[in-house]
């Protein structure tokens, strides 16, 4: 289990991480969500002992990461996949990591096979594509067969095939009972893979709950298709609903589907389609982050997916 | 904490002592050093320069020997001349020292290294151990080969010396010690500066520029300051002549040791105090 208490990191006058408290539960997939500069990578670095907290603590299985002599057996991490010496081969990169933690050569071959790099393991990693680099980073994380895995933006820049591969790998790793902590700006990805969510913005904790609870916290909308939408919209607004026009239909917020149907019937308005729409993780995210001032603008570029 | 599986952390072998992590780190660093072509080349270049330049300078002396004036002949240091390639070879081995950790800072792979071995001082000590061993072996091969080939060439004018002569063995070993010291100073500078170009500039300033600057001082400051520089200490070790700016072998080793230990100590403090 990873536990942060009052975790804070200050760079000069900026608070990158501001009194974060969270627990990452064993055996589940926890998603780490937040816009650029929200402190996700800094938090992960502090977990790995790479950056020292300004105040507060973070522990892995009850002790500070830097007190673990051979930590690859406890935590496997993928932070920057391409942070490698370009002229070293993948095999030698993994071998040097294995040796530093007393992991056997056989295990190096095993993880190379697991990520499908067997044919190219002897080639310098500088010639690897982004996807191959990401696979190598994951092989390094799996070297010590650790119960905890940490991935920073694992699908970043990958093609659909690579994304599918990582998604399946994460699922199978989770099924083995491993703790998985992953950050991603792809919310649909997160909704598919994560059980728990930790949402941060501007270094502060916004929510830490299960995905179901985070999404269920909102009401959702009702989509209505009708030839008389101006008429129905006016009536629904009079009932206190917020109504918007989307693709020749009405999107109703603030009334449930049943009420919308009843209202239409009472007013003899023909309805062609009436659909209850659950809130997406994206909607929930905006609802949660809307609360923090000056936050929306910072969040938008990342949601557009043009990070880096 | 629900019905999740909590697995006990395992360790592959042995007690997780400080010595255990150090040994593991040394094995890891040796793999890193030998698996990058540029580091292997810098070792080859170090030997090639030491031997090749030494041979060239000895051949030049042989060619001019009959026209040298008697004082120049009297002062001729056959050992020192055959080892003079060290002045250039030190740059190759010094750059290797810088690259051993500088390339990790440049590529960001230092974070992978520290995530695998969070005891950073252990990592730095392991890197320094592997570097020192490799630099000494390569330096010794270069110096003894340069000496042997240089003396064969000088024997053309019967001015060669043998390893059994006074101070000669010391000079050849001293050359290897000096090359090792330069590699280690470069390594420590790179650990402190964390940038390859900056560390190379700092190293070259220390071994090349400071001796020139010390010459600009009025006497006797020039010699007194020069004696404290690693380059002078090195030259004192691998030459057998006597001169006012030359140190005894013991003092030369002490000066080199102080430089190596002082820069290494700052490197150790710096690596454990800063974020990476």
- pTM (two decimals): 0.85
Would you mind telling me the total number of residues written for chain A in this entry? Answer: 308
A49: Cα separation from own chain's centroid: 21
- For A88, the closest of B5, B12, B35 (CB atoms) is B35
Q: What is the pLDDT of residues A91-125, one digit of tens each?
A: 999 999 999 999 999 999 999 999 999 999 999 99
Inter-chain CB proximity A80 and B118 less than 8 Å: no
ipTM confidence: 0.89
Average pLDDT of chain A is 86
> How many Cβ atoms from other residues are within 10 Å of residue A278's Cβ?
12
Distance CA A160, CA B142 (A): 54
Q: What is the pLDDT of residues B35-68, one digit of tens each?
A: 999 889 999 999 999 999 999 999 999 999 999 9
Distance CA A285, CA B248 (A): 73
Please give the pLDDT value at position B185. Answer: 98
Please give the pLDDT value at position A187. Answer: 76
Inter-chain CB proximity A61 and B9 less than 8 Å: yes
Q: What is the DSSP letter of A234?
A: H
Inter-chain CB proximity A25 and B32 less than 8 Å: no
Please give the pLDDT value at position A295. Answer: 44
Rg over alpha carbons for chain B, rounded to the nearest Å, is 22
- For B1, the closest of A26, A45, A65 (CB atoms) is A26
Closest CA to A68 of A59, A78, A79: A59
Distance CA A111, CA A162 (A): 17
Distance CA A208, CA A196 (A): 7
Which domains are seen in chain A, by residue range?
Answer: 2-213 (3.40.50.300), 221-277 (3.30.70)
Distance CA B114, CA A171 (A): 28
Can you give the pLDDT of all 276 residues of chain B as single tens digits? 344 444 444 444 445 578 899 999 999 999 999 999 988 999 999 999 999 999 999 999 999 999 999 999 988 999 999 999 999 999 999 999 999 999 999 999 999 999 999 999 999 999 999 999 999 999 999 999 999 999 999 999 999 999 988 889 999 999 999 999 999 999 999 999 999 999 999 999 999 999 999 989 998 888 888 889 999 999 999 888 766 667 888 899 999 999 999 999 999 999 998 887
Answer whether the bond into residue B245 is a cis peptide, omega within 30°. Answer: no
Please give the pLDDT value at position A219. Answer: 66
The percent of chain A in helix, strand and coil, each rounded to the nearest 5, is 40, 25, 35
Edge-to-edge strands of the sheet including A179-183? Answer: A75-78, A148-152, A179-183, A29-33, A196-201, A204-210
Inter-chain CB proximity B35 and A86 less than 8 Å: no
How far away is chain B from the Cα of A291, in angstroms, using its nearest Cα?
30
In chain B, which residue's Cα lies nearest the Cα of A176? B5
Can you give the pLDDT of all 308 residues of chain A as single tens digits? 899 999 999 998 889 999 999 999 888 999 998 887 889 999 999 999 999 999 999 999 999 999 999 999 999 999 887 889 999 999 999 999 999 999 999 999 999 999 999 999 999 999 999 889 999 999 999 999 999 999 998 887 788 888 888 888 988 998 999 999 999 877 777 877 889 999 898 889 988 888 877 776 666 788 899 888 888 989 988 888 888 888 788 888 888 888 889 989 999 999 998 888 877 777 777 777 765 434 444 444 444 333 33
SS3 state of residue A116: coil
Please give the pLDDT value at position A244. Answer: 83
What separation in angstroms does the CA of B257 have from each of A234, B7, B191, B254? Answer: 88, 48, 18, 5
């Amino acid at each position: 289990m990873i536990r942060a208490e009052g975790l804070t990191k200050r760079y000069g006058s900026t608070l990158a991480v501001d009194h974060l408290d969270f627990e990452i539960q064993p055996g589940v997939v926890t998603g780490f969500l937040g816009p650029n500069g929200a402190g996700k990578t800094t938090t992960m670095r502090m977990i790995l002992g790479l950056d020292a907290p300004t105040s507060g603590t973070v522990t892995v299985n009850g002790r500070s990461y830097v007190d673990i002599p051979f930590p690859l057996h406890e935590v496997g991490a993928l932070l920057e996949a391409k942070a490698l010496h370009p002229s070293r081969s993948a095999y030698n990169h993994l071998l040097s990591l294995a040796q530093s933690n007393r992991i056997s050569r056989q295990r190096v071959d095993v993880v190379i096979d697991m990520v499908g790099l067997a044919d190219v393991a002897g080639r310098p990693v500088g010639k690897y594509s982004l996807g191959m680099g990401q696979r190598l980073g994951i092989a390094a994380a799996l070297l010590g067969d650790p119960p905890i895995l940490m991935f920073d933006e694992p699908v970043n820049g990958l093609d659909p095939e690579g994304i599918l591969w990582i998604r399946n790998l994460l699922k199978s790793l989770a099924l083995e009972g491993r703790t998985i902590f992953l950050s991603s700006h792809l919310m649909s990805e997160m909704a598919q893979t994560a059980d728990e969510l930790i949402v941060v913005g501007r270094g502060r904790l916004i929510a830490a709950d299960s995905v179901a609870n985070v999404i269920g916290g909102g009401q959702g909308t009702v989509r209505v298709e009708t030839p008389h939408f101006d008429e129905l919209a006016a009536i629904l607004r009079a009932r206190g609903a917020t109504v918007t026009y989307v693709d020749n239909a009405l999107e109703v917020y603030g009334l449930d589907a049943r009420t919308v149907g009843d209202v239409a019937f009472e007013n003899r308005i023909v309805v062609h389609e009436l659909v209850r729409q659950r809130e997406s993780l994206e909607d929930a995210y905006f609802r949660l982050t809307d609360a923090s001032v000056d936050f929306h603008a910072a969040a938008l570029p990342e949601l557009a997916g043009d990070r880096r | 904490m629900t019905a999740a599986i909590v697995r006990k952390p395992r360790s592959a072998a042995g007690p997780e002592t400080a010595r255990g992590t150090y040994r593991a780190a040394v094995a890891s660093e040796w793999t890193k050093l030998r698996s990058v072509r540029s580091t292997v080349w810098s070792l080859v270049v170090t030997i090639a320069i030491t031997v090749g330049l030494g041979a060239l300078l000895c051949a030049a002396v042989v060619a001019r020997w009959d026209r040298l004036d008697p004082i120049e002949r009297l002062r001729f240091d056959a050992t020192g001349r055959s080892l003079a390639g060290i002045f250039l070879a030190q740059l190759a081995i010094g750059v290797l020292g810088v690259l051993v950790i500088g390339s990790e800072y440049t590529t960001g792979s230092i974070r992978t290294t520290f995530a695998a071995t969070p005891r950073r001082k252990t990592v730095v000590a392991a890197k320094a151990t592997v570097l020192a061993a490799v630099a000494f072996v390569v330096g010794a091969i270069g110096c003894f080969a340069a000496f042997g080939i240089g003396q064969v060439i000088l024997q053309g004018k019967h001015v060669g010396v043998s390893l059994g002569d006074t101070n000669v063995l010391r000079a050849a070993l001293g050359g290897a010690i000096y090359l090792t010291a330069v590699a280690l100073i470069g390594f420590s500078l790179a650990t402190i500066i964390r940038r390859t170009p900056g560390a190379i500039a700092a190293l070259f300033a220390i071994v090349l520029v400071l001796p020139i600057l010390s010459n600009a001082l009025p006497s006797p400051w020039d010699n007194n300051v020069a004696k404290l520089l690693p380059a002078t200490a090195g030259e004192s070790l691998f030459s057998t002549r006597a001169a006012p700016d030359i140190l005894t072998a013991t003092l030369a080793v002490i000066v080199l040791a102080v430089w190596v230990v002082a820069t290494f100590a700052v490197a150790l403090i710096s690596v454990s105090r800063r974020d990476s």
